[in-house]
Amino acid sequence: MKTLTVSVVTPDGPVLEESFSMVSCKAENGELGILPGHIPLVAPLSISAVRLKGEGDTVNIAISGGFLEVRPDKVTILAQSAEKPSDIDVERARKAKERAERRLKAKQDDVDFRRAELALRRALNRLDVVDQ
């Protein structure tokens, strides 16, 4: 079975470098599925889960935006943040979700709605990755 080398890197350093048979992720323009031999591509990523399929298992990683670079034999994900399910603090993510929901419901003039909305999306993404 052909594989791709997948590197997930954040400003804090590498998160993962392994071989997988398929990469599924959500770019800003829609879902992408990448197999070995894919044409070169660069795409901005949304806050979402990246699914990495290997032999018999799937690894999910929560990312908070960034870029995807595809070459025929390698995929590099440059993410603002990236967390494996084992690295996610579930209680902290739940509290962040509740805090963001309260800010969005408050409808106060001093609340930055875009920031609260992004915080909510990041928290929901982390919780989804843990539950998968």
One fold for both 4-83 and 89-131?
Answer: no
Q: Where are the beta strands (DSSP E) in the chain?
A: 4-10, 13-20, 22-27, 30-34, 41-53, 58-71, 74-79, 82-83
pLDDT in tens, 89-127: 888 888 888 888 888 787 666 667 778 788 888 888 788
- Fold (topology level) of 4-83: ATP Synthase; domain 1 (2.60.15)
Q: Model pTM?
A: 0.82
Query: What are the extents of the domains in the chain?
Result: 4-83, 89-131
Average predicted confidence (pLDDT) for the chain: 88
Q: Which CATH class name applies to 89-131?
A: mainly alpha
Q: Residue 118's pLDDT is what? A: 82
| pLDDT of 52 over the 90 cut | yes
How many Cβ atoms from other residues are within 10 Å of residue 11's Cβ?
Answer: 9
Taking only the tens place, the pLDDT of each residue in 25-36 is 999 889 999 999
